[in-house]
Chains A and B, each alone.
Chain A
Amino acid sequence: MPNLIPFARAATAACLAAVLAFVVMASAHAAPAPSLPHGNAAVGQKLYQSCMGCHSLDENDVGPRHRGVVGRPAASVPGYAYSTALRKSGLVWTPDVLDRWLTNPQKLVPGAKMYFSVANPNNRADIIAYLSQQR
């Protein structure tokens, strides 16, 4: 735990800097704002630990395995018993949809069987950035 604190602090600072840079950029160019903050995959790898009580990259467990999840249709891992709700959702796990899922899976897919959420948008972006790399 102690060795993680400076790391987490640095990570927060990095996120803050990223968000600030983004705000400055957005206002300077008045470009349409992308809907997600940029994630930091290295931080995401740490944060992904909180998913590991139920998931891993390569094995189905309480939840389905995650390798390659970004861009794939929901409920498409063979051998995992998904909820009917998620199977019928018709969703594709784009970063944006993943962000909504991690914000509140029950709101995105009522009747899904994941009861776990990540409140902080930067944390979500970091986790999604990490998952995007796990091809």
Chain B
Amino acid sequence: MDMFDRRGMLRCMGWAGTGALFTLGGGIPGSITLDAALGATPKPGFSFLQISDTHLGFNKPANPDPLGTLKEVIAKAKALPVRPDFIIHTGDVTHLATPEQFDLAQQMLGEFGVPIHVVPGEHDIVDGNDPRPFLDRFGRAARGEGWYSFDAGGAHFVALVNSIHLGDRGMGTLGEAQLAWLGQDLAGRSASTPIIVFAHFPLWDLYSDWGWGTADGAQALSLLKRFGSVTVLNGHIHQVQQKIEGDLTFHTARSTAYPQPAPGEGAGPGPLVLPSVQLRSAIGLRSVTLRQGAGPIAITDTPLA
């Protein structure tokens, strides 16, 4: 059951040193699997789950059955002792944005039984750059091309859309209208408010050769700099990657469908075919717990197996 190799462990410990803990397990800098969490005593606190890159409709060898693995994720989420307050989905809900895939996605996301906040990935907007078919299904509270914000658990959540207008080498773009809105949205908020930003593409330059970044992400980050705690969650990369920059921490999530290679390794940013017994160790979900008061935000990434 020990999902963490030595490298993973060291990464977590590095984390603890900078003020964020992978807890759920009583403040020990380390991580526990979701299976272990299932047996843990429920603790009060506000929590949510992040899922990403469900890619419903994908059917290639990297995972011929992304619907099946999503169902496994749903079952795990429902078995948690503490019901998450909501779920965020960081995009690529579907693979090809067809009406059938959107139908299936709506039905499946409903199965979680808790509210779900979604941002689109570029696979959700395949036909041109019109996000409306996606927003009609998933964008209830959205403005502009789908961005929105809300308050929950003492934190301010900001959903950004950087997957509609793709820039150089396919990088995400926020655009001026969205950046202006973000400036207004953040203005007047106390610097001590924890901010949680979520978007499909990473806001930091993870690996721009593969388009793994946001062309104008730095402008968003400069608006966020004055806050004491900023957590940025994204998808698109199909693997866990983290970065800390001052008070900003960045977390890229696993897909629930298929993995992609590490940045710059292998053939490119496409589906990575693993021996089938290994697939479930490379896909999964993430849970995030906020403590009331000034406690650290606890983030646990959990593979399916």
Q: Which residues of A contact B (CB under 8 A)?
A: 1-4, 8, 46-53, 56, 59, 62, 83, 111, 113, 115-120, 123
Chain B neighbourhood of A119, CB < 8 A: 168-169
Chain B 10-50 interface mask (CB, 8 Å, partner A; 1/0): 00000000000000000000000000000000000000000
The answer to whether B169 and A118 touch across the interface, beta carbons within 8 angstroms, is yes
Cβ–Cβ contact A1 & B268, under 8 A: no
Chain A residues in 8 Å Cβ range of B210: 49-50
The listed residue (B128, B164, B170, B264) touching A1 by CB distance below 8 A is B264
Q: B296 an interface residue at 8 Å Cβ cutoff?
A: no
* Interface check B153, CB cutoff 8 A: no
Question: Is A49 within 8 A of B267, CB to CB?
Answer: yes
Closest-CB distance, B260 to chain A (whole angstroms): 9
Q: Verify B267–A52 contact, CB threshold 8 A.
A: yes
- Complex CA distance for A51 and B268, rounded to whole angstroms: 8
CB distance from B124 to the nearest CB of A (A): 11
Residue B269, interface by CB 8 Å: yes
Q: Say which residue of A3, A4, A50, A56 sits within 8 Å of B169 (CB atoms).
A: A50
Q: Answer whether A52 and B264 are a contact pair too, CB < 8 Å, given A4-B209, A118-B169.
A: no
Question: Given that A4-B264, A113-B128, A116-B166 are contacting pairs, would A50 and B209 also be in contact in the complex, using a CB cutoff of 8 Å?
Answer: yes
Taking a contact as CB atoms closer than 8 A, the residue among B126, B128, B268 that contacts A50 in the complex is B268
Say whether A113 contacts B168, CB under 8 Å. Answer: no
Distance from A127 Cβ to chain B, minimum over Cβ atoms (Å): 10
A48-B268, A62-B96, A113-B128 known; A53 and B170 CB under 8 Å? yes
B4 close to chain A: CB less than 8 A: no
Q: 16 A-B contacts, Cβ less than 8 Å apart? A: A1-B262, A4-B209, A8-B209, A48-B268, A49-B268, A50-B170, A50-B211, A62-B95, A62-B96, A62-B126, A115-B122, A115-B164, A115-B166, A117-B166, A117-B168, A119-B168
Bound-state CA distance A38–B70 (Å) is 46
Q: With A and B bound together, what is the CA distance between A116 and B269 in angstroms?
A: 14
Interfacial residues of chain B within 94-153, with CB under 8 A of chain A in the complex: 95-96, 122-123, 126-129
| A20–B123 alpha-carbon span in the complex (Å) | 40
Q: Is B181 an interface residue (CB 8 A)?
A: no
Is B165 part of the binding interface, using a Cβ–Cβ cutoff of 8 Å? yes
Interfacial residues of chain B within 205-239, with CB under 8 A of chain A in the complex: 207, 209-211
Whether A52 pairs with B263 at a CB distance below 8 angstroms is no
- Say which residue of B127, B128, B167 sits within 8 Å of A117 (CB atoms): B167
Is B68 in the interface zone, CB < 8 Å from A?
Answer: no
**How far apart are B120's CB and chain A's nearest CB, in angstroms?**
13
> Shortest CB–CB separation between residue B179 and chain A, in angstroms?
19
Most buried by A among B123, B207, B269, B270: B270
Chain B residues, Cβ within 8 Å of A116: 166, 169-170, 211
Say whether B123 contacts A62, CB under 8 Å: yes
Q: Are B269 and A50 in touch, CB under 8 angstroms?
A: yes
Complex partner residue of A49 from B96, B127, B164, B209, CB under 8 angstroms: B209
Separation of A8 and B208 alpha carbons in the complex (Å): 13
A2 neighbours in B (Cβ, 8 Å): 264
Within 8 A of A (CB), among B237-286: 262-265, 267-270
B254: min CB distance to chain A, Å: 17
How many angstroms between the C-alpha atoms of A117 and B123 in the bound complex? 17
- Cβ of A83: which chain B residues have Cβ within 8 Å of it? 127-128
Contact between A52 and B168, CB atoms less than 8 A apart: no
